C-alpha cells in the first residue's frame, strides 16, 4: 500500500440542508464520517423547514466536529485544512457551517476552503473508487438538483451538459411519497415499497425523451402530475391504490430516463465511465439499471456506497483534500455562504474573487465581519 502520510489531512463540514455532516479524510482515504440529521424534526411538515434545520445545525455542530476528530483518531492541530460547503443550499443552514469552519480555521491557523456542494457529491467517489478519471461524466441526482456534468478537473472545471427544467429527481420522489401518504423523505420509502411492486404495472410518461427534446435535460413535473392524477382517479372510484405497483412504476419511469440520458451523454462525449452521485444515487433500482445499461454500452460505472451518496461531511473533506493536493487558493476569512452558488464554481477562493453576477447571499461578508 502506498504511504499516505504526505496526503492532505482535511476536515469537511456540510450543513446545506438537514444533515450536519463532518468528515475527515487523508487524501482519498476516508477516516471519519459523522452525521447528525434533523430529518425527524421535519417529517411532520412533509419537507425541510429551513429555520428548524438551522437551529439543529447550531446545536449539533461542535459535538459532530468533536466526534469526527475522535473517530478519525486525529488531533485538530494536525489538519492541513478545513473545508466547508459554501453553497448551494439553504442560506441560514449554510451559514452555520461556514461560520463554524471560519472559527476553527482562524483559531487553529489552518487554511479554509469554501467548496461547492454539487462538486463534493462527485468528488466523494474518490474515497470509494480512488482518483476520478479525467474527464469524468457525472449524473448528479439529489433533492435539489438533477444534472449531467462533465468535469476535466473536479477542483476547477465542471461543465453542465443538461439539467432538470422543473423538479429535481429527489423532489419528485418526495412529492409522490407525500401523495401516497408514505412520509418524508420519500426516496428511501418508495425504494422499499417498489421492491415488492411491478415496475410495468402502470405506463407512466418519460419526460423529455422525444426526438425533438433536448438530449440531456430532464423534466419530472409531468410525471409527477400523471402519477397524482392516476392515484386520485383510483380513490375517486373507491378503489384501493396499489401502493407498491405505483411506487415501482413511478420509480421505473424516473430511473429509465436518468440512465438513458446519462449513457447517451457518455457515448456522445466519448467518455467510457459514468459517476452517479447525490441522494437519489442511493436508489436500489437506479444502481441496478445503471449497471445493466453501462455494461451493455461498455461504460464503467462508479457509484459510492449509499451512505456517501446522501449528504455528508466526508464528501466536503474529499473535495477540500483535492483542493490542497492541487494547490488551489484557500478562501479568505470573508468567505460568504452563497445559496445559489453555480455548479460551474467548484470552490470559492474568497470574497474578492467572486465573479458570477447572480444574487449573492452575503449574510457574512468581509465588510460586516471587520467593520
The binding site for ligand KG4 (CB under 6 A) comprises: 17, 142-144, 170, 173-174, 185-188, 191, 278-280, 282-283, 310-311
For the annotated binding site for substrate, the residues are 140-144, 174, 187, 191, 283
Stretch that binds Zn ion, among 261-269, 291-299, 309-317, 323-331 (CB under 5 A): 309-317
Helix 243-269 vs helix 186-194: angle between axes, to the nearest 10 degrees? 100
In the complex with ligand KG4, which residue's Cβ is closer, 111 or 185?
Answer: 185
47, 14 contact by CB (below 8 A): no
- Contacted entry of Zn ion, ligand KG4, none for residue 170, CB cut-off 5 to 8 Å set by kind: ligand KG4
Residue among 343, 353, 305, 10 at smallest CA distance from 129: 305
Residue among 54, 89, 142 at smallest CA distance from 361: 89
Q: What are phi and psi of 164, to 5 degrees?
A: -75, 145
Query: Which contiguous run of DSSP H or E holds residue 36?
Result: strand 29-37
For the annotated binding site, the residues are 117, 121, 140-144, 174, 187, 191, 283, 311
What is the C-alpha to C-alpha distance for residues 348 and 341, in angstroms, rounded to an integer?
9
Q: Minimum CB separation from Zn ion for residue 60, in Å?
A: 17
Count of residues near Zn ion by CB under 5 A: 2
Residue 354, CB-side half-sphere exposure with 13 Å CA sphere: 22
| Cell numbers linked to 283 | 436508489
339, 90 contact by CB (below 8 A): yes
What is the C-alpha to C-alpha distance for residues 245 and 249, in angstroms, rounded to an integer?
6
User: Hunting for cell 492541530 — which residue is that?
Assistant: 77
Q: Minimum CB separation from ligand KG4 for residue 25, in Å?
A: 18
Q: Minimum CB separation from Zn ion for residue 339, in Å?
A: 14
Q: Minimum CB separation from ligand KG4 for residue 170, in Å?
A: 3
| Cell numbers linked to 93 | 443552514
Residue among 173, 309, 180, 188 at smallest CA distance from 254: 173
Q: Minimum CB separation from ligand KG4 for residue 310, in Å?
A: 4
- Contacted entry of ligand KG4, Zn ion, none for residue 174, CB cut-off 5 to 8 Å set by kind: ligand KG4
- Contacted entry of ligand KG4, Zn ion, none for residue 27, CB cut-off 5 to 8 Å set by kind: none
In the complex with ligand KG4, which residue's Cβ is closer, 191 or 351?
Answer: 191
DSSP class of residue 197? S
Q: Minimum CB separation from Zn ion for residue 49, in Å?
A: 17
Interface with Zn ion, residue 311, by CB under 5 A? yes
For the annotated binding site for Fe cation, the residues are 117, 121, 311
317, 11 contact by CB (below 8 A): yes
Q: Minimum CB separation from ligand KG4 for residue 177, in Å?
A: 8
**Contact map string, positions 122 to 161, toward Zn ion, x by CB under 5 A:** --------------------x-------------------
Which residue has the closest beta carbon to Zn ion? 142
Question: What is the arrangement of strands in the sheet containing 146-153, beginning at the earlier edge strand?
Answer: 157-163, 146-153, 136-141, 273-277, 300-302
DSSP class of residue 366? H
| Cell numbers linked to 24 | 475527515
Contact residues for Zn ion, defined by CB under 5 A:
142, 311
Amino acid at each position: 500500500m502506498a504511504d499516505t502520510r504526505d496526503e492532505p489531512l482535511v476536515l469537511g463540514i456540510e450543513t446545506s440542508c438537514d444533515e450536519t455532516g463532518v468528515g475527515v479524510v487523508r487524501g482519498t482515504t476516508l477516516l471519519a464520517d459523522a452525521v447528525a440529521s434533523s430529518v425527524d424534526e421535519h417529517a411532520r411538515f412533509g419537507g425541510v423547514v429551513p429555520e428548524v434545520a438551522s437551529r439543529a445545525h447550531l446545536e449539533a455542530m461542535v459535538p459532530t466536529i468533536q466526534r469526527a476528530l475522535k473517530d478519525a483518531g486525529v488531533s485538530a492541530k494536525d489538519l492541513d485544512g478545513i473545508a466547508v460547503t459554501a453553497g448551494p443550499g439553504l442560506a441560514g443552514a449554510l451559514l452555520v457551517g461556514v461560520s463554524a469552519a471560519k472559527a476553527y480555521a482562524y483559531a487553529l491557523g489552518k487554511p479554509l476552503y469554501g467548496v461547492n456542494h454539487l462538486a463534493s457529491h462527485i468528488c466523494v467517489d474518490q474515497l470509494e473508487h480512488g482518483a476520478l478519471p479525467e474527464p469524468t461524466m457525472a449524473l448528479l441526482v439529489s433533492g435539489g438538483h438533477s444534472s449531467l456534468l462533465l468535469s476535466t478537473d473536479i477542483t476547477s472545471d465542471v461543465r453542465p451538459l443538461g439539467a432538470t427544467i422543473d423538479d429535481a429527481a429527489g423532489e419528485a420522489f418526495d412529492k409522490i411519497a407525500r401523495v401516497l401518504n408514505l412520509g418524508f423523505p420519500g426516496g428511501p420509502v418508495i425504494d422499499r415499497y417498489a421492491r415488492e411492486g411491478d415496475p410495468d404495472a402502470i405506463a407512466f410518461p418519460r419526460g423529455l425523451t422525444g426526438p425533438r427534446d433536448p438530449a440531456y435535460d430532464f423534466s419530472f413535473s409531468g410525471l409527477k402530475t400523471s402519477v397524482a392524477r392516476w392515484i386520485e382517479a383510483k380513490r375517486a372510484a373507491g378503489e384501493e391504490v396499489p401502493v407498491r405497483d405505483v411506487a415501482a412504476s413511478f420509480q421505473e419511469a424516473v430511473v429509465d430516463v436518468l440512465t438513458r440520458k446519462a449513457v447517451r451523454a457518455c457515448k456522445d462525449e466519448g467518455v467510457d465511465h459514468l459517476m452517479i452521485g447525490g441522494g437519489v444515487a442511493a436508489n436500489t433500482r437506479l444502481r441496478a439499471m445503471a449497471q445493466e445499461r453501462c455494461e451493455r454500452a461498455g461504460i464503467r460505472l462508479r457509484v459510492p456506497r449509499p451512505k456517501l451518496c446522501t449528504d455528508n461531511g466526508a464528501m466536503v473533506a474529499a473535495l477540500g483534500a483535492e483542493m490542497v493536493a492541487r494547490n488551489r487558493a484557500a478562501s479568505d476569512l470573508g468567505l460568504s455562504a452563497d445559496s445559489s452558488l453555480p455548479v460551474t464554481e467548484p470552490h470559492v477562493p474568497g470574497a474578492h474573487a467572486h465573479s458570477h453576477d447572480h444574487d449573492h447571499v452575503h449574510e457574512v461578508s468581509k465588510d460586516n465581519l471587520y467593520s
